[in-house]
Each structure stands twice: as structure tokens, then as C-alpha cells.
Amino acid sequence: EVQLVESGGGLVKPGGSLRLSCAASGFTFSSYSMNWVRQPPGKGLEWVASTISSGSYTFYADSVKGRFTIFRDNAKNSLYLQMNSLRAADTAVYYCASENCTIGDCFYDFWGQGTLVTVSS
């Protein structure tokens, strides 16, 4: 059974930092691109960042570029999101999700239950 378990969320002051983790099991983690997707309170889903299977390429939403870093440790089957210079607008539930692609179009086939990040003074 595929499992993705996020951790590391919490309350942080504006300008602060937080590192999220996602522990993966039940599939060959090192073969899949992985993503972070977030959902601000009362709003829809927003893609945040992705990394290919090897971790050598990463991609970011404009809203987090330069502040967030996605990385992975395939030996530990883990995905991370280092979040710096946090803003109130970053308040959201953060999900990690595995990516699957068919003829170029990609979707997220498995998701974790999410971890809540609250940025407030």
C-alpha cells in the first residue's frame, strides 16, 4: 500500500523558516517525480514545487521561487520542503504527492494527508 506521511508543520512567525518532510513507502520512491501542493484556508489547491526522480531538477511556483527549496533523499525514501522567509500568504495545508505522467500530461496519483503551516505573529 502506498503511503505518504507529511510532518514538520506548525506555527511560525513571518520571516521565519520551516522544513517539511514526507516519508514515502509502498512504491519505488526513487523512480517517481514528487511534488508539494498546498491548500490555503478556504481556498483551492495550488501546486508549489516539484522534483524529478533523481532530484537533479526542481521546479517552483512563482509565488515561492527563491524562498522555498524542494529536495529529496532517495536512500531514505523522503521528500523535503525547506521554507524560508515565510509570509502570511504561505499559511496552508501542505501535501506531498507522487506524480504520474502519460504522453506528457501529468497528474498526482497518491497524496499524503497533509501538514498545516500557519504563518502568524
Q: How many CB atoms lie within 10 A of CB 50?
A: 20
CB of 37 to other proteins, least distance (A): 8
CB of 110 to other proteins, least distance (A): 8
Nearest CB to other proteins, comparing residues 80 and 108: 108
CA distance 67 to 12: 15
CA distance 62 to 119: 19
Nearest CB to other proteins, comparing residues 9 and 46: 46
Question: Do 97 and 111 contact (CB within 8 A), yes or no?
Answer: yes
CB of 53 to other proteins, least distance (A): 17
- Closest by CA to 4, choosing from 114, 101, 107, is 114
Residues that bind other proteins (CB under 8 A): 4, 43-47, 61, 95, 97, 100, 102, 105-114
CB of 120 to other proteins, least distance (A): 21
Q: Which residues fall within 8 angstroms of residue 93, CB to CB, at 6 or more apart?
A: 9, 38, 39, 114, 115, 116, 117
